[in-house]
Structure 1
């Protein structure tokens, strides 16, 4: 894996995941509660794995398999609950400093996330981070096939910037981020703050790996 400073110096555009690097979306409104509220919209006869899941996106994926109307209802409720969730939380420690440093060094920053555009925009505005972010490429439809680990959100961010994938780097803390970056032809930096996550993400061979958000300030 390359060094973070070396890798960033080769790029012009940073794509940053939202849930994890920027904030912990469901820190105060737990994802398990959100998932349970979404399940009630789908109905009582859920598959066992969906019924047991604490991940709202598992419910959204199942809703999509039930048809576009069900998917739309579940996605709209998920978007509302994400808005409630982000109103209760603060930015991740150090993220404001990282964003300011990237912008000062000439990078553009785009949030690339499976979370809803509205929730992300609201959070950035509330915490005065919007000026550091060039764009948002995030969930706007009820189709989970357009979300990471598929590359569509990254492809859209590349097009919006009028650039090429080789000038971009994705920073994220999940397997979906690394896989989506690879599929889009974008370099990846894994943010892995626990030993278990370091093992899991290192196994996916990202272009670089850091263990703390502050490590991303080494570009320059």
Structure 2
């Protein structure tokens, strides 16, 4: 991946590239549980983050309650899963090549830190820029998490690249002035992310490794 060689810092999304957060505790079940906290208001979505955004529109108290519970569910979910195939090798490769890696994610800092520790991945990750509040305006596709990561590293956006598997990752990178690499493992995802014109698109985690 020659595009990576031009950069110093990798921003890596968590849910997807590193692991499948809701593989064992389905996102639809989490969304349903969260919606019970704001009844009688119910939205037609199986995405927990849609529920959080809706809760925020109801007021800061509702958003706080839903976000705290979402953090608990994420903690439960990541305790049940393993790292994505090949990601540990990619992280080792990046460290050997001198990159710093920051996990940049809409998931909670607590869940990410727990997962990295559980699977001995902490040594490969320089920092975490992830959800710490109930304000959805600070989450991707807005650039706030990427901006915070750039600031924490004391670098500039042009020295960074965002690797993610969602539209939110590509849009947030563009808004932050950061190069984007889309990870698209299925034909449907390749079509969807390709339409957003990321700077590069790969179909497998292994494609993110650098040849010696």
Scaled by the length of structure 1, the TM-score of the pair is 0.95
* Alpha-carbon shift at residue 35 of structure 1 (Å): 0.3
Figure out how many residues of one structure are paired with residues of the other and give that number.
212
Residue ranges of structure 2 left out of the alignment (5+ in a row): none
Structure 1 residue 189 and structure 2 residue 205: aligned? no
Distance in 2 between the 1:60 and 1:139 partners? 12
Q: Gaps spanning 5+ residues in structure 1: where?
A: none
Determine the structure 1 residue equivalent to 2:10. 14
1:170 paired residue among 156, 162, 174 = 162
Counterpart for residue 104 of structure 2: 112
Residue 134 of structure 1: aligned partner: 126
Q: Aligned partners of 2:125, 2:57: CA distance in 1, in Å?
A: 34
Provide, for residues 78-136 of structure 1, a one-character-per-residue CA deviation record: whole Å limited to 9, x for no partner. 00000000000000000000000001100000000000000000000000000000000
Asked whether the 8 Å contact 1:35–1:59 carries over to 2, the reply is: yes
* Corresponding residue of 2:23: 27
Q: Residue 37 of structure 2 is aligned with which of 41, 51, 61?
A: 41
- Cα distance in 2 for partners of 1:63, 1:88 equals 27
Instruction: Kindly report the root-mean-square deviation, in angstroms, between the aligned alpha carbons of the 2 structures.
Output: 0.7
| Preserved contact between residue 104 and residue 128 of structure 2 (Cα < 8 Å) | yes
The offset of 1:44, in angstroms, is 1.8
SS in 2 for 1:19: coil
2:93–2:210 contact (8 Å) kept in structure 1: no
Q: Distance in 1 between matches of 2:2 and 2:52?
A: 38
Displacement of 1:218: 2.9
Match of 1:75 in 2: 67
CA distance in 2, matches of 1:126, 1:219: 29
- Which of 54, 74, 79 pairs up with 1:62? 54
Find the aligned partners of 1:108 and 1:196 in 2 and give their Cα distance: 31
C-alpha displacement of 1:12: 0.1
